[in-house]
């Protein structure tokens, strides 16, 4: 690995350690030319398989772009979008597969986006699930309303918890 300080074409690994439960390896490197130290991170490339069969590396930037588009004009800040993209990456990487269908990436976006902004969620879901009639929107809105009612009724933030109550 080339030294980022003096551009010397070689460097020496002085320390390697696993991070993120073994998902990453951080290497501390030392330049034999200028003596400076720097860190590199190694992780497995996560491939996203598109419907056409074409694969491309998972990109958090792409997630951010798609979600930002859905959030246009909504009171959602950039930090929340970045955090959502981070959550999505954690979700898809946690599956432990080397390849993941793009469909599953979309699915991982829907949950956290619904919590972030319901209008943005509807926009994203309408594209992702190919809504083609008003009835599709109506059904999705009804689901959102039911979840909101469950939240209010139970007085908790977690709709899933509320829905799971037996009395
Ligand atoms: Zn150097």
41 C-alpha to center of ligand 1: Å? 18
pTM flag (> 0.75): no
For residue 158, what pLDDT is reported? Answer: 53
What distance in angstroms lies between residue 42's CA and the mean position of ligand 1's atoms?
20
In the reported structure, the alpha carbon of residue 106 is separated from the centroid of ligand 1 by a whole-number distance in angstroms of: 42
What residues of the chain score a pLDDT lower than 70?
155-167
Hey, where are the domains in the chain?
A: 12-43, 47-137
Distance 46 CA to ligand 1 centre (A): 31
Distance 29 CA to ligand 1 centre (A): 10
Residue 2 Cα to ligand 1 middle (Å)? 8
Report the pLDDT value the prediction gives residue 148, as an integer from 0 to 100.
87
What is the pLDDT at residue 52?
93
Q: In the prediction, which pLDDT does 156 show? A: 53
pLDDT for 23 equals 76
Per-residue pLDDT, 152: 85
In the structure, ligand 1 is a single-atom ion and the residues with CB under 5 Å from it are 3, 5-6, 8, 31, 33-34
From its phi and psi, is residue 110 left (phi > 0), alpha (psi between -120 and 50) or beta?
A: alpha
pLDDT of residue 157: 53
Whether the Cβ atoms of residue 67 and residue 124 lie closer than 8 Å to each other:
yes
Distance 44 CA to ligand 1 centre (A): 27
């Amino acid at each position: 690995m080339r030294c980022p300080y003096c551009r010397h074409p070689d460097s020496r690994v002085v320390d390697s350690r696993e991070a993120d439960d073994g998902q990453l390896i951080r290497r501390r490197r030392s330049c034999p030319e200028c003596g400076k130290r720097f860190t590199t991170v190694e992780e497995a490339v996560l491939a996203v398989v598109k419907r056409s069969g074409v694969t491309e590396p998972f990109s958090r930037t792409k997630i951010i772009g798609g979600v930002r588009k859905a959030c246009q004009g909504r009171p959602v800040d950039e930090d929340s979008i970045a955090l959502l993209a981070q959550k999505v990456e954690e979700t898809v990487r946690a599956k432990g597969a080397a390849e993941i269908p793009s469909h599953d990436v979309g699915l991982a976006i829907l949950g956290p986006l619904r919590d972030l902004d319901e209008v943005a969620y509807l926009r994203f879901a309408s594209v992702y699930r190919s809504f083609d009639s008003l009835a599709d929107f109506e059904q999705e809105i009804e689901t959102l309303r039911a979840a909101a009612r469950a939240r209010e009724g139970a007085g908790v933030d977690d709709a899933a918890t509320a829905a799971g109550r037996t009395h």
